[in-house]
Amino acid sequence: MGRGVFITFEGGEGAGKSSLIEEVARQLASDGIQVVKTREPGSTHLGEHIRTLLLNHTSQPVSPYAELCLFLAARAQHIQEVIVPSLERRKVILCDRYNDSTIAYQGAARGLGMEKVESICEFICQGVQPHLTLYLDIDPAVGLFRARGSSPEIAGERGYDRIEVEGLEFHSKIRKAFLEIHEKDPARVHLLDASQKKEIVCAEAMKAIRLLLGSLA
Ligand SMILES: Nc1ncnc2c1ncn2[C@@H]1O[C@H](COP(=O)(O)OP(=O)(O)O)[C@@H](O)[C@H]1O
Ligand SMILES: [Mg+2]
């Protein structure tokens, strides 16, 4: 896997992944560490096409199996084009979502089965697994409020809208799945309480990252 360091950031919508990656990258870069920020799908030419495909099909139902295959196709390309070369160049890779999101979204929330999706992810990734995963845990109602500026809980007072109810149920399944993944592998998956202030979440993330970098040095 080269001599670089692979760190993934996981969690539901609005948990704070993208903001945290920006701040962690800034702090690591100011320590003189070479960082690569990346995300799926979309960090490669093929990934951009897949992203467009996924976004352009919002009006028609997409088979959950097709959705899984598209995400995995983007991942396979991302591994070959970005992650493996960056590891070989000894970079610290900060990746916004990876296998755990696929296991939680497609495996748990879409109902394809967490174990089945995990094993297909393992096949696709050929051993390219994160050294550390920072899981940002948040109540989905809070996360959705941050991400969209409206809360399904508040919507409840004026009567739930079908999508909003489904949205919250869907996102609750995702949180439960992430918590299971953390419980199964706490050594890799570090849980951060993402309801805290950004500065505190970031300080805790940096502590875990510095510990990892120290142990690999
Ligand atoms: N710890 C936090 N407390 C309050 N708001 C936050 C926190 N972290 C992120 N946010 C805000 O929530 C919104 C979603 O954050 P973002 O980083 O885009 O989440 P994600 O990438 O996980 O969907 C942004 O407006 C961001 O500034
Ligand atoms: Mg984001």
Number of domains in the chain: 1
CB 79 within 8 A of CB 8: no
Domain CATH code at residue 141:
3.40.50.300
Q: Tell me the percentage of the chain whose pLDDT exceeds 70.
A: 90
Tens of pLDDT, residues 138-177: 999 999 888 877 555 554 443 443 333 457 889 999 999 9
Range of the domain at 191: 5-216
- In this structure, how many other beta carbons lie within 10 angstroms of the beta carbon of residue 167? 19
Q: Which ligand number lies closest to the CA of residue 16? A: 1
Ligand 1 neighbour 148 (Cβ under 6 A): no
184, with CB counted inside 10 A (0-12, 13-18, 19+), is exposed
88 band by pLDDT with thresholds 50, 70 and 90: very high
Q: What is the mean pLDDT of residues 80-94?
A: 97
Place of tokens 């409020």: 145
Distance CA 78, CA 81 (A): 5
pLDDT reported for residue 23 = 98
Alpha helices in 158-197 (DSSP H): 162-184
CA atoms within 13 A on the CB side of 150: 11
Atom 25 of ligand 1, residue of closest alpha carbon = 146
Provide the pLDDT confidence category of residue 53 given band limits of 50, 70 and 90: confident
Q: Read off the pTM.
A: 0.92
Burial 112-136 (b: 16+ CB within 10 A, else e): bebeebbebbeebbeebebbbbbbb
User: Between 30 and 160, whose confidence is greater?
Assistant: 30
- Residues 114, 68: contact at Cβ < 8 Å? no
Indicate whether residue 146 lines ligand 1 (CB < 6 A): yes
For atom 23 of ligand 1, the residue with the nearest CA is 14
Distance in Å, CA 141 to ligand 2 centroid: 16
